[in-house]
Structure 1
């Protein structure tokens, strides 16, 4: 039977996802629902918010008419429900609410009882299974080895894990790599995971000399381990200066955090060309529209050529070796605070050989206009 959840419960969960103070695994345990529902409700909430502020007057009139009709229909049902609720003890903890469900009630279905108590029906029959410590360990090992040897594909990573005593197969490693959004850096077919319905732009940077700031910007996403879960990090970088214009953390791969990072960077300036990979986060209409409205040329990496975006790949390598692996973040707040400090260090203090041992800020004239990350 299909599970049913109240709008109030969905709103509460979606807001928790949007706040991004906890990982998906932690929220799944907290609300006792499946991980996929967390991602879907967050997406639905973000897509539906604009409607809250449009056509308000017309909706108000329609709502008033509907309300009158609904009230008459609900009076009888509410009396039954109120009588039932009076017999139950008001409680907060979900496990205790679950004990109040009366599976033999003659007039209130289990679905309705769950709605009234704000308990998911699945919680009655299903114990959520977060990512187990063994899998998290594998993901951490894969991430570290990929950062060290980005040319390793899933076959070599399987062999590497086997030498460490982890008996894993190629299918599992490939699935974890997809979840972590990492791939080997070498040409191969069918590499990019994109939405086939989305428009794809050509790669514009082959044999192009990067000679000035704001000539080319690019962006990418990487995996970050946090405590008993993981999150995703995105950043927008100026190729010439290596200056990080903006960055964001998210507990899902929904592209809203990519759009936010893009919009924040465009407050500072705008590039002539913006380069991304062919991932669905960047081929989505809401991302491309931001660039098209400003007449920014869009470039997309060729299939199977991660080196087309090598500058951001180098950023990820620096972030992980110089901060993530050393700090071992336990919460999203830990990660945010530490990454904020590191990005400030990266832009203003870290010496870059490619900049003749200068710092990115010195090579990016508009750095003083950067908004606080």
Structure 2
């Protein structure tokens, strides 16, 4: 890797990212290549963004063809790609209305606005989220998160926003009342360490919703769009949230987010109340169409099947390295290895094996391979994982 790119980066960019010592050139399938030609197995997927891997031919073809026609015209016009993508999302997710944005944070902010508009008609103001949740870095999102590194020195935050312990039924019962407007959660927390909502906790949440009449906002930015083997992760709970927030993988690599909801709830947003310049632009939407069509054509099923294969393999590794591994979490193409030490050490060792991963929640190795991952590529990862764990054992 050239030291020139490092010095130039230090001169002109904010120094807020911890970058891996790699200068990437291009990607193909489940692999990334640096400027020296070295090949890396990508088990990060741009942080759950590259659902179809890198340079997927259908995705590239659709984006190139659209770019030759137009890239952006604004929401003053009707666009076939925008309408078609919304139709596919409504079909796959069983909802009626979609609002397009550019990111998960922007979508989550919009969901807060919808909830507050709805709450203003019912004399409800309070919104709750949970410890370990991640909803973006904008002010509404930060107001519903409690991790110090994201918030220190940035207050005051929005009023009537509260963070509760995750999976704590007693805390939920103590907090929720007639003033509750909405409860927002990741049913499978990503940044929090690949932690799922316990079924009993969701049952308690549903019972309180029946009692107090509030909205449930599902943040599916990381876990949604087929990543866990179902279109939405919350499908596993047989629950129907009022608002769903999407982004990351739904664009296949282009900036694309969405708020998905019911026909009735969408009506709280009247013309002129909410908008976005770039959201739902044709370039991002044609990419989203390819992703949705590929999910329907077997990619979502592959994520489920390969997720089972990966999890079985990880459990075997856990048996062999029980002095390292506490637990295996998650499902599909969103799994976590809970370690007895900081996961950054394992990230470093895996990088020596030309495998890209990510550490989260201090001691969790987060695995986010593309949904198109194969058994052979999983075997390659498992082999590299064993070598890396053995190196740390010495």
Give the TM interval when normalised to the shorter protein: under 0.3
More strand by share: 2
Indicate the structure with greater helix content: 1
Based on CA coordinates, which of the two structures has the bigger radius of gyration?
1
TM-score with structure 2 length normalisation?
Answer: 0.24
Q: What TM-score do the two structures reach when normalised by structure 1?
A: 0.25
Higher-RCO chain (CA-CA 8 Å, sequence separation at least 6): 2
